[in-house]
């Protein structure tokens, strides 16, 4: 495995967890007023595109990475809907 491979896999692994701190923060604070719904809707739709791309290329790294990001985006959409309604935003 080359240095480029190692950097690529590391970056890919971190990318898949980028939304996690936001999910945890929103879950703990029960508020998502300042969080952009549009960002997570675009991200979720785009992850579906990435997963289709991964399927067409039969590339499981792309499929798995984007499935993780998709699940976190859907989590954030759910939390945003729930807390915005609870908080009357």
Can residue 60 be called a binding residue for a second copy (CB under 8 A)? no
The rounded distance, in Å, linking the Cα atoms of 33 and 38 is 12
- Binding marks (x or -) toward a second copy, 8..47, rule CB under 8 A? x-xx--xx-xxxxxx-xxx--x-xxxxxx-xx--xx-xx-
Q: How many CB atoms lie within 10 A of CB 21?
A: 9
Cα angle value 73/44/83 (rounded, 5°): 40
What's the closest the beta carbon of residue 71 comes to a second copy, in angstroms? 16
Among positions 1, 56, 85, 88, the unique one binding a second copy when judged by CB under 8 A = 56
The rounded distance, in Å, linking the Cα atoms of 60 and 74 is 21
The rounded distance, in Å, linking the Cα atoms of 9 and 21 is 20
Q: For binding to a second copy (CB under 8 A), which residues are involved?
A: 3-4, 7-8, 10-11, 14-15, 17-22, 24-26, 29, 31-36, 38-39, 42-43, 45-46, 49-50, 52-53, 56-57
């Amino acid at each position: 495995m080359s240095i480029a491979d190692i950097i690529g896999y590391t970056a890919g692994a971190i990318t898949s967890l980028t939304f996690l701190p936001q999910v945890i923060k929103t879950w703990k604070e029960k508020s998502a007023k300042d969080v952009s719904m549009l960002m997570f809707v675009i991200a979720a739709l785009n992850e579906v595109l990435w997963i289709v791309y991964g399927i067409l290329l039969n590339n499981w790294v792309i499929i798995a990475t984007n499935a993780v990001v998709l699940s976190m985006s859907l989590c954030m959409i759910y939390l945003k809907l729930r807390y915005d309604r609870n908080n009357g935003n």
